[in-house]
Amino acid sequence: MDLVLDTSKFDPVVLELGRLFADAGFELSLVGGPVRDLFLGRTSPDLDFTTNATPDEILAVAKKWADSHWEMGREFGTIGFRKRNAAKEVLLIEVTTYRAEAYDPESRKPVVAFGRSLIDDLQRRDFSVNSMALRLPEMELIDPFGGAKDLAAGLLRTPGAAEDSFSDDPLRMMRGARFASQLGFSLHPDVLTAMKGMAERISIISAERVRDELVKLICGAHPRAGIDILVETGLADLVLPEIPALKLESDEHHRHKDVYQHSLQVLEQAASLETGPDGPVPGPDFVLRFAALMHDVGKPKTRRFETGGGVSFRHHDLAGAKLTAKRMRALRFDNDSIKAVSRLVELHMRFYGYGEAGWTDSAVRRYVTDAGPVLERLHRLTRSDVTTRNQKKADRLSFAYDDLEQRIAVLAEQEELDSIRPDLDGGAIMALLDIKPGRVVGRAYNFLLELRMERGPLGPEAAEAELRAWWAEQPESQPE
């Protein structure tokens, strides 16, 4: 593949900053991902620069030029700037002093040393495709480690020895899998060997940094490739052990499908069902994709070999939801994401009762209510979970789910399914029964909600009659 450095997307602000540093007697180069993206014809949202200026000198050169700045990365040599371009767009710019950094074997924090050489700075970067620089304002490409050649070949290779690179920053191993997902690149054999030998070193990296790389991997264009690398190298055993555990499900008698490969296929199929920005599930959607990957992680724990040679996984959906929530908490995910993903895992088997026997309107209402805000994702996860090669079976399940979605749509028009409430609220219940706030009000509310689920909207008068009949049977209503 022939690649051309496309500088047509260059914002004039970049050259303006380069001239500022040159006039002050300093070097400045655009570096890393933004240079790589120029070869790929893409515009990078952030602009990263490297210089021989110290943080104080960086501020002296650009502080007045920028609209604003921040110094949170000063200890690592980084000063950040915001600058509006001619189109009034806000550009985020980071300028970092040439540096070399290494991890102490027992520490999670890098030991930073500033340098004075662009080549040395490029050598300490993760992969050769990210070790290219564009010297400014001359627009001279600096590529001492063959990054452009590797980019054309779709290859991830480290600028120096892979073992040294991963020892300096073990998170680079996760980045290797992430770039395979995002860019569709393969790993150089030396990189793969080093990752296998050094996987355990990922344990010194904070859960938050691992989580961020995992999210980028899952949301990449080729997530299956990234997950395969994590599993093959042993990194998944440490950061996402529930996934390699699925490989145990391919037993020697082949009594059921390979759950690991099935889960990767479901992940791919779920990603293919994401929508555009105006649709109900804009892609890439981490919640849907991660639920697809994790939906069967409860199977190892629940596997039973039945009399007659069969295999069962009773309640693997519930077990999987608990395992998923536990793993996401360990990776420091936010509560909303944990709740959404684990809920999808918990509900992914619910539809199969519909496919086998059909549901009452009450069951459809419960399905919608239980899914709540993840209903659209649940539609896609359920459809993605069909990986059978039996076309008749696949068609039957697809037609059944088409029917379920149609029934949901009809009921939604009639009953506002996304916000099912009893026909009487708490205030009306207390006024009607002449009771004060407390547990009894909650019981009455739940009674009416169950009635609403079973019979649909009743109207205030019918609901009042039902509530009075219920109340007459409650011990609290009896005179003392």
Write down all domains in the chain, each with its CATH number in brackets: 1-147 (3.30.460.10), 154-240 (1.10.110.30), 266-419 (no CATH), 426-477 (no CATH)
Q: Based on the number of CB atoms within 10 Å of its own CB, is 67 exposed (0-12), middle (13-18) or buried (19 or more)?
A: exposed
| pLDDT score for 115 | 76
Lowest mean pLDDT among 51-65, 85-99, 116-130, 240-254: 240-254
- Cβ distance 114 to 89 under 8 Å? no
Token pair of 433, please? 């029964």
Distance (Å, rounded) from C-alpha 400 to C-alpha 185?
Answer: 39
- Specify whether the CB–CB gap between 19 and 137 falls below 8 A: yes
Mean pLDDT calculated for residue range 382-391: 90
317-336: average pLDDT: 97
Average pLDDT over residues 92-104: 80
Give the closest residue to 46 by CA, choosing from 27, 31, 28: 31
Q: What is the mean pLDDT of residues 286-298?
A: 97
Residue bearing the bigger pLDDT, 432 or 265: 265
Helix ranges restricted to H, 52-141? 55-62, 118-123
pLDDT, the chain, mean: 89
**Single-letter amino acid code for the residue at 84:** R
Integer Cα distance of 480 and 478 in angstroms = 6
Residue 410's pLDDT band, with cuts at 50, 70 and 90, is: confident
Whether residue 102 has pLDDT greater than 60: no
Cα-based angle 342, 379, 370 (whole degrees, multiple of 5): 50
Please write the tens of the pLDDT for every residue from 44-93: 778 999 999 999 999 999 999 999 999 988 988 999 999 999 889 999 99
Instruction: Specify the pLDDT at position 2.
Output: 62
Contact predicate 78/60, CB 8 Å: no
pLDDT digits (tens, 9 = 90+) for 432-474: 888 888 888 888 888 888 887 778 788 888 888 888 888 888 8
pLDDT for position 291? 98
Q: Write down the pLDDT at residue 132.
A: 96
**Burial of 416: CB neighbours in 10 Å, binned 0-12, 13-18, 19+:** exposed
CB 185 within 8 A of CB 154: yes
Residue 256 predicted with pLDDT over 80: no
Over residues 326-335, mean pLDDT? 98
Token reading at 453: 């689920």
The yes-or-no verdict on residue 419 having pLDDT over 80 is no
pLDDT exceeds cutoff 90 at 157 = yes
For residue 198, the Cα-to-chain-centroid distance in whole angstroms is 25
**360 CB-near residues (< 8 Å, 6+ apart):** none
pLDDT, residue 111, reads 63
Helix and strand numbers (H, E) in the chain are 23, 13
Is residue 10's pLDDT more than 50? yes
Provide mean pLDDT across the span 86-109: 78
Which pLDDT score is estimated for 416? 60
Overall average pLDDT of the 9-33 stretch = 93
Which residue's structure tokens are 């990189």?
A: 191
**Dist. CA 34–CA 17, nearest whole Å:** 15
Q: How would residue 253 be classed by pLDDT, with cut points 50, 70 and 90?
A: very low
Q: 448 with 422: CB under 8 angstroms?
A: yes
Question: In this structure, what DSSP letter does residue 227 have?
Answer: H
pLDDT tens for 206-222 read: 999 999 999 999 999 99
Phi and psi at residue 53, in whole multiples of 5°?
-75, 145
pLDDT score of 417 more than 60: no
